[in-house]
Amino acid sequence: MAENVKAAPARGRRTRGKGAEPGTAATPPKPPAEDAETLVGYYRQMLLIRRFEERAARAYTEAKIGGYCHLNLGEEATVVGLMTALRPDDYLFTNYRDHGYAIAKGIGADRVMAELYGRSTGVSKGWGGSMHLFDAEKRMLGGYGIVGGQLPLATGAALAVSYKGGDEIVMCQMGDGTAAIGAFHESLNIAALWDLPIVFVVINNGLGMGTTVDKSSAEPELYKRGAAYRMESARVDGADVVAVRDAARAAVERARSQSKPYLLETVSPRLKGHSVVDPARYRTKEEKDALKAADPLAKMALDLEEAGFLSHEDRDRLDAEVTAEVDEAAKFADESPEPEVSTLFDYTYATPVPGDLRRFPADPVFRS
């Protein structure tokens, strides 16, 4: 159930008023019952992301994926709920935990896996890797490795949409640790001042790497930070795909129809460590057991079964389908060529730049 902070109009074209009162909550109307096809479709997409991430973790241990690799394990309901609320022409900026978002935004699992493998058929032609998935056609504009690096850029994209008079919106996803940095506050402030069509989404998995939010944030309910900028905000259970979808739709509708920014916090504990190489020793056995018991994928499967929407046979069939899809993606990545070294500098600049240096290591500084 989302808790909506009651916010007064902010500056700019809006009338000044009292700031939002942190902690003031309003209960949204109960959504209509969902049909079986819709819910099973959400479950299948969540299952695809789960199996993809499990295969990525395996490929990393096999040294087929290099560099950093951060997985969406345990956050599948949040990913699918958020992406369901977007139109195909809406823009998406994410942090480095981006694989599931790329798949849910419509980028093929084969191209995502090929990018993780560093192959030329990857979504970023093999030069981006796990943290830098980018597809202008699907309007996924990254994948950013620097904490908070995506926020100013997403805010700028929302300004461009507003300047051009379009009705697209920008969604900017981030982790809970990002809510403590300067770019977070600067971006929210500008978005509120200029009435920009952007939805900021904080994925609160309870840990900034290994430090709990409670120990690192004076206000651990991160959605309340929108009050400082007179920005409407809400908190939602990230393990409930329908709740996330409904909360995201409300945020997107406000951004699209009223050109007002919105801050949405989803509480979405991750099942594993910060990255593939993090064993999460900072968690107790009791905490790990509780996370496993609250697995959103297993919970949704049980709910669908109890509602009569999904039988054991259906679950096995869906699992076989998505496993085969992920196997094909891994095969595609394995068989794809690596980028040509000569293309290393092809995407440094969007257009030719005078004096562009393209010297490789060990190349002479001057050629005869």
pLDDT band at 19 (very low <50, low <70, confident <90, very high): very low
pLDDT band at 21 (very low <50, low <70, confident <90, very high): very low
Q: Residue 344 domain-assigned?
A: no
Q: How far apart are CA 2 and CA 355, in angstroms?
A: 53
Q: Residue 143 domain-assigned?
A: yes
CA dihedral for 312, 318, 321, 322, sign (positive or negative): negative
Per-residue model confidence (pLDDT) at position 367: 59
Q: Residue 25 domain-assigned?
A: no
230 and 9 Cβ atoms separated by less than 8 Å = yes
Per-residue model confidence (pLDDT) at position 349: 86
Per-residue model confidence (pLDDT) at position 348: 84
Residue-wise pLDDT tens digits, 199-227: 999 999 988 888 889 888 889 999 999 99
Q: Residue 28 domain-assigned?
A: no
- Domains: count for the chain: 1
On the question of pLDDT at 22 being above 80, the answer is: no
151 and 172 Cβ atoms separated by less than 8 Å = yes
pLDDT band at 352 (very low <50, low <70, confident <90, very high): confident
Provide the residue type at 142 as one letter: G
Across the chain, what does the average pLDDT equal?
89
Mean pLDDT within 149-155: 97
Per-residue model confidence (pLDDT) at position 12: 34
Please state, for a pLDDT cut of 70, what percent of the chain lies above it. Answer: 90
Q: Residue 31 domain-assigned?
A: no
HEC states along the chain? CCEEECCCCCCCCCCCCCCCCCCCCCCCCCCCCCCHHHHHHHHHHHHHHHHHHHHHHHHHHCCCCCCCCCCCCCCHHHHHHHHHCCCCCCEEECCCCCHHHHHHCCCCHHHHHHHHCCCCCCCCCCCCCCCCCCECCCCECCCCCCCCCHHHHHHHHHHHHHHHCCCCCEEEEEEHHHHHCHHHHHHHHHHHHCCCCEEEEEEECCEECCEEHHHHCCCCCHHHHHHHHCCEEEEEECCCHHHHHHHHHHHHHHHHHHCCCEEEEEECCCCCCCCCCCCCCCCCHHHHHHHHHCCHHHHHHHHHHHCCCCCHHHHHHHHHHHHHHHHHHHHHHHHCCCCCHHHCCCCCCCCCCCCCCCCCCCCCCCCC
Q: Looking at 17-31, 87-101, 135-149, 318-332, which range is the least confident one?
A: 17-31
Q: Looking at 58-67, 225-234, 310-319, 348-357, which range is the least confident one?
A: 348-357
120: left (phi over 0), alpha (psi -120 to 50) or beta: alpha
Per-residue model confidence (pLDDT) at position 211: 86
On the question of pLDDT at 23 being above 50, the answer is: no
On the question of pLDDT at 10 being above 70, the answer is: no
Nearest C-alpha neighbor of 309 from the set 248, 244, 242, 237: 242
On the question of pLDDT at 25 being above 70, the answer is: no
Q: Residue 349 domain-assigned?
A: no
On the question of pLDDT at 24 being above 60, the answer is: no
Mean pLDDT within 221-239: 97
Provide the residue type at 352 as one letter: P
Domain that residue 227 falls in: 3-17+36-335
Q: Residue 368 domain-assigned?
A: no
Residue-wise pLDDT tens digits, 288-302: 889 989 999 999 999
Q: How far apart are CA 61 and CA 170, in angstroms?
A: 35
On the question of pLDDT at 81 being above 70, the answer is: yes
Per-residue model confidence (pLDDT) at position 336: 98
Per-residue model confidence (pLDDT) at position 361: 76
Per-residue model confidence (pLDDT) at position 3: 47
On the question of pLDDT at 160 being above 80, the answer is: yes
Q: Residue 348 domain-assigned?
A: no
Per-residue model confidence (pLDDT) at position 16: 32
Give this prediction's pTM: 0.87
CA dihedral for 247, 249, 254, 260, sign (positive or negative): positive
- The CATH number that applies at residue 111 is 3.40.50.970
